[in-house]
Homo-oligomer: A and B are copies of this chain.
Amino acid sequence: MPTALVRRMLAEFLGTGLLVAAVVGSGIAAQRLSTDHGVQLFENAIVTALALPVLILVFGPVSGGHFNPVVSLADWALGRRRREGLSGRELAPYVIAQVSGAIPGALLANAMFDQHGVLSVHRRSGWHLWLGEVVATAGLLLVIFALARTGNTRQTPWAVGAYIGAAYWFTSSTSFANPAVAIGRMFSNSFAGIAPGSVPGFIGAQLAGGVVGLGLMVALYPRVSEVAGDVVVPHEAVGSA
């Protein structure tokens, strides 16, 4: 495996892990410190909106800052004809790095907060929640690919953070929108957790949302496939140097 790919996997591993640590850690803190459920979710959402852009700025120049199997999959699907974006050989390493980063990310949050009891019992299922995940994931892809297509990638980190912070609230599912993060959040016995049995439904909805998002993207921006290499942000040039 070439050094550059190892470095990109390290970036995806760390980025996804620290994203989950930020979500779970702030979830634990919110639950311990605040009583109003809305205030707890607001604290959780704003912390994520602040942390996610920084993670994209730090790790994005190495790997693109996907941190999300749906994003990697969409990038590969869009770019494969023109051989732009993620290649078929890179897709699996990306997803493996993301998922294997998400789990220790949750455990790190548990350790920092001395939180015992690992597996979540927080059930999240039902058609309205899955609809929420479809909307959340479709929207996320629109944000990422539209900004790449319109040459706005300098604004992408902040736009993605703002989007996720808002989507915590305007979707009923609090917008996981990310299979790796859903898997990581199984390992948190807090209000940010998700029971293992609820994860497949969420991942299914996220994949469906990915298809919807790509469809809308192609309708709005027919030439989107040309910019698959710049998703989430332009990368490699610096990272491999």
A163 to B30, CA, bound (A): 17
Instruction: Pick from A39, A46, A57, A113 the residue with the most CB of B within 10 Å.
Output: A57
Contact A33 B33 (CB under 8 A): no
A211 in the interface, Cβ–Cβ < 8 Å?
A: no
Counting every copy of the chain, the complex holds 4
A37 in the interface, Cβ–Cβ < 8 Å?
A: yes
Contact A113 B43 (CB under 8 A): no
Residues from chain B with Cβ under 8 Å of A241 in the complex: 222-223
* Mask: chain A, 75-117; 1 = CB below 8 Å from B; 0 = not: 0000000000000000000000000000000001101111000
Q: Which residues of A contact B (CB under 8 A)?
A: 7, 10-11, 14, 18, 21-26, 29-30, 32-43, 46-51, 53-54, 57-59, 61-62, 108-109, 111-114, 126, 128, 131-132, 135, 139, 142-143, 146-147, 149-150, 152, 155, 159, 161-163, 165-167, 169-173, 216, 219-223, 238-239, 241
